Amino acid sequence: MFPKSCDELYQCRLYKKKFLGSSPRYFYIFLDKAVVNKESNRKRADRVFNVENTKRIVWKYTTEQPIKMKGIIFDNGNQPQEYFGDEDVLRELKKHISKLFFQAKVQEEYVAMQVIGQGNYALVLELQHLHSNQKFASKCIDKKKLQTIEQGMESVLNEIQIMRILSPHEQLINLIEVYEGDNNIYLIMDLAQGGSLYKEMKNKLTLYSRKEVQKIMYQILSGLQYIHSKGIMHRDLKPENILFKEKGNVNTLTIADFGLSVKVDSYPYLYPKCGTPGFVAPEVVNLIDKTSSYTTACDIFSAGVIFHILLLGEGLFIGNGHQEILRMNKQFQVDLGRNKYQQLDSDARDLLFKMILQDPDQRFTAYQCLNHVYFQNDVAPQLKLKIQDSPTKVSFDHYLDTYNSPDQKLMNKDSKKLSIVTRTPIYAPKASTPELPKQRSIMEELSPLSSFSLDQLCNETQKEDQLQFAITK
């Protein structure tokens, strides 16, 4: 049976080579499949390619300069299906199916510019597209290291599935396409060049103005409303995972890192107790029955903690070390009657309190938050304190440093014992961003005609630089 035409994303005509000549094939692309017909009609589907029956796709290129696309192979492990066409048609086809399937030969499309960060089993690279010169970020995941992590591959496949569902959206870091090499998986994503909200808050000398806080929170909540509308929970919302597309431009915020995201109705969840102490919702950190469910309200709580930091310059839970923060988080040890909350204007205070309610059933939804009077009242005064002169400055810096940089001894413990909340040590010591060795020579080797691949690049860089960087899980 042919899918509904209203769900169709793209259609084109390619050719199948025969012993003598060629014959046309009509492609119809949908969100979850590619249908190929011998005739230009929609009465039936002659051949269907989807993620279940297709191992990966391989793009074919010319050998002469300038290099051009000339075909596509659907590798199903048994009898690969090869089709040919004009480059313009193939490029447009690639735009519509590159998120759906794993692809081979990433080096044919991208050149590595620099390493942005390094995590427990992945590098984050800045790539440049060879044909458009556009820059992207790539999460380069080591498949061997994944095997040493409990449910590691399942986690990566879940992240890809979640990002495929959510992309594209203006307030999110979008998945562009996915490649798989012999040693690594590559998630090609939007590149946010402005850094994280966490870094901005650390470097800022004064609290954000009311209008800036409004813009930041409105974008975060808009992103959450969209994520939640798809039946998905982020589960690790924090300032490090809020990125600026442009440095210092509060109008360009995006939500990043969907490594812990899950569908609300997919319980028992993958890593049911997860998140970051100080930001994780009470119903998650206190979860007893790991087969039970919770709701998107957990993200509203985390967003509320970010709102709290933006308004007051300090976290909701202030403790000496992440274990104390975790304890306060579990017990919801917060005194909402303190004088600092009374200094906030009534609109900001009301919205904040409704976002951080201990009872998830009473917490506001993203839609309710966006329609709160706080976002409609531009003239109400905000608490205006210079952070360096404020009594909260010391606790603010201590809070950010503490939850991001624990005692080194904690890092040497087994990851399962590190925290009942986190599935891996995400509190890695801060480190400078590693650089590519012999940068210029490597750029030359990463030409489309070279056998040198990004698989090799990742392996060599990981051997030379063992720094831990809390970018990925």
- Exposure string for 163-179, b = 16+ CB within 10 A, e = fewer: bebbbeeebbbbbbbbb
Query: Considering 75, 142, 190, 236, which one is annotated as catalytic?
Result: 236
- Exposure string for 392-417, b = 16+ CB within 10 A, e = fewer: bbebbeebbebbbebeeeeeeeeeee
Cα–chain center distance at 28: 29
Whether residue 236 lies in the annotated active site = yes
Query: Cβ atoms within 10 A of the Cβ of 88, count?
Result: 11
Phi/psi of residue 299, nearest 5 degrees: -70, -35
Active site residues: 236
